[in-house]
Amino acid sequence: MDKVSILLSIYKPNMIYLKEQLLSLNNQTYSNIELVVWNDCPEQEIDRDFFNQCITRFPIRFYDNKVNLGYIGAFSKLSELAEGEYVSYCDQDDIWEPEKVAKCIQVIQDSKSVASVCDKALMSADGEIYIPSYRQISKMACDCWNTGDDITTRAAFFCYGTGMTIIAKRRIVQRFLPLVPVVAHDLQLMLFLSAGGNVAYVDEPLVRYRRHGRNETGLLSGILSKKDYYDTRCVPTVHLLERFEELYPEYAALKDMKRCASARVRGNIIEIWRYRRMIPDLYRYEIALALCPNFVFRCIKDQFVRFKEKGSIKKL
């Protein structure tokens, strides 16, 4: 049985949430696992006794870092340190279903894929599940694809697999390292993996994703102006595609992907419309953004948030 390295980055974790996460890892039905823990908080050492009380069925390797790398740098280092045939990315506050690793590995092997992702349930801070299957309620292209779909051109612009749902072949992931420091690790991993081979989708919620105040995310999280949006949501994709070109210089759609990225940075409405199939979850919003003056941006932002709440991320 191939070894799986579960890669866990921690930063000042909520110990109640962390315990629930660790116990769910310990309850995995897959037997050949190692846990690799990276502490990204230099002023707070890992409580190894706590980990060893929660994890009793497989070994743990600990790394206390002297410098804060941020979550992208931390997962990049963890990917380098992994020794298993597969790597599985893990957050510090979720819960995994017991068969999560086993089912995802089986799908990879059965479909001859380089990686797999699974559906997820959403739960509140206190652990109450309010969306049993995110895939079933989502209307976004990034959540509604299937094994064998060619997602690469779209995966350059939007995340097609949340980090804790990704399991991939280690040797392939390590070809991509170090990760680009300005783009979320899961977005770029899904881009690089999908370009390198088939990525399988497990249509079953095998992870409970905890949503709480410290980890709320979204397209407009932290965005206060149009410039903020272009600088933090569009410009990083240009840098990501520079790295993609190094890895896949002959990729057929590379030129169009770069043109789409440039159009987004410039707010070029005609070009955004032209490449709308690459950004199906973004182009309507970004056309509206390009047309509106900055002083009405907040109004547009509020409308977009309400649209999202009624559509793909409505809480039950």
How long is the chain?
316
Distance, in Å, from the CA atom of 71 to the CA atom of 161, rounded to the nearest integer, reads 16
Q: Is the pTM for the entire model greater than 0.85?
A: yes
pLDDT in tens for each of the 316 residues of the chain? 999 999 999 999 999 999 999 999 999 999 999 999 999 999 998 999 999 999 999 999 999 988 999 999 999 999 999 999 999 999 999 999 999 999 999 999 999 999 999 999 999 999 999 999 999 999 999 999 999 999 999 999 999 999 999 999 999 999 999 999 999 999 999 999 999 999 999 999 999 999 976 545 556 667 888 899 999 999 999 999 999 999 999 999 999 999 999 999 999 999 999 999 999 999 999 999 999 888 777 766 666 655 555 544 443 3
Query: Where do the structural domains in the chain lie, given as residue ranges?
Result: 4-210, 226-310
**Tell me, what amino acid is at 309?**
E
Question: What CATH number belongs to 4-210?
Answer: 3.90.550.10
What pLDDT sits at residue 262?
A: 98
If you search the block for the tokens 């409505």, which residue do you land on?
314
Contact call for residues 246 and 219 (beta carbons, < 8 A) = no
With CA atoms as reference, report the closest residue to 220 among 313, 146, 152, 122.
313
Distance CA(137)–CA(125), nearest Å, equals 20
pLDDT at res. 221: 67
pLDDT of 225 reads 84
Please list, in sequence order, all residues whose beta carbon lies within 8 angstroms of the beta carbon of residue 35, skipping any fewer than 6 positions away.
5, 6, 8, 25, 51, 55, 58, 59, 60, 61
Q: Please, which residues bridge with residue 131 across strands?
A: 122
Looking at residue 218, its pLDDT comes to: 59
